[in-house]
Amino acid sequence: EQERRTAERDSAADGERIRALTKSDIEKISQAARAEIAAAERVGSQELRAIAAKLATDRAAALIREQLNAASEAALFESFVGELTRAAS
């Protein structure tokens, strides 16, 4: 009878220890998953910003190509040279 009670107590203690370890493991896995998700969000956000910047730059370059002709390019160059000349004086 005593051995049976001891075995039951040991079994209950083992069960409690296993539950505590499982709870701890679940929390560790959850923390790791949250950290991984946060890192993926940061990377995704950075990638989106880079894509948006490239699209904006490409569009600006296309607009400049559309609007810049030989005459406006010459006027822009003359203006630039004039500013350099004034700055050097």
Print the domain residue range for 14. Answer: 2-88
pLDDT digits (tens, 9 = 90+) for 31-74: 999 999 999 999 999 999 999 999 999 999 999 888 888 889 89
pLDDT at res. 66: 86
**How many folded domains does the chain comprise?**
1
pLDDT at res. 64: 87
pLDDT at res. 70: 87
3-state secondary structure the chain: CHHHHHHHHHHHHHHHHHHHHHHHHHHHHHHHHHHHHHHHHHHHHHHHHHHHHHHHHHHHHHHHHHHCCHHHHHHHHHHHHHHHHHHHC
Note the pTM of the prediction, 2 decimals.
0.55
